Amino acid sequence: MPQKPNVENRWWVETTFKKPKQAKSETEMPQLPVAMAFYQVARDYDQDRAKEDLTDNNLRIARAANPPQGDWAYVAMTEQHAPPNVIKRVKDEFRIPREARGIVIDHGRVVRLLICGPQLEDWMLDITLGEEPSVDAYVWSVMYRERIFRRAEDALRQARKWAINLLQFPPPRDEPFRGSLLV
Flag whether 181 is in a domain. Answer: no
Flag whether 29 is in a domain. Answer: no
* Alpha-carbon distance values, 31 to 21, 36, 87 (Å): 21, 7, 48
The pLDDT of residue 103: 95
b vs e for 80-118, b when ≥16 Cβ sit within 10 Å of the residue's Cβ? Answer: ebbeeeebeebbeebebbeebbbbbbbbeeebbbbbbbe
**Single-letter amino acid, residue 87:** I
**Single-letter amino acid, residue 25:** S
Flag whether 26 is in a domain. Answer: no
Flag whether 11 is in a domain. Answer: no
Q: CB–CB of 181/175 below 8 Å? A: no
E-state strands within 29-154: 72-76, 101-106, 111-116, 123-129, 134-139, 142-148
Flag whether 15 is in a domain. Answer: no
Encode the chain (183 residues) as per-residue pLDDT tens digits.
566 666 566 655 556 666 666 666 655 656 555 555 555 555 555 666 655 555 578 888 999 999 999 999 999 998 889 999 999 999 998 888 889 999 999 998 899 999 998 888 888 999 999 889 999 998 887 888 899 999 999 999 999 999 998 888 887 776 655 545 565
Sequence-ordered list of residues with C-beta below 8 angstroms from that of 79, at least 6 positions apart, any chain: 108
Instruction: Identify the bridge partners of residue 72 per DSSP, sorted by sequence position.
Output: 102
Flag whether 51 is in a domain. Answer: no
Question: The pTM is what?
Answer: 0.67
Phi, psi of 87 (to 5 degrees): -60, -45
The pLDDT of residue 116: 92
Flag whether 49 is in a domain. Answer: no
Flag whether 91 is in a domain. Answer: yes
Range of the domain at 156: 56-168
Nearest partner of 101 among 59, 73, 138, 140, judged by Cα: 73
In the chain, the number of structural domains is 1
Sequence-ordered list of residues with C-beta below 8 angstroms from that of 151, at least 6 positions apart, any chain: 133
The pLDDT of residue 26: 57
Instruction: Identify the bridge partners of residue 73 per DSSP, sorted by sequence position.
Output: 103
The pLDDT of residue 108: 87
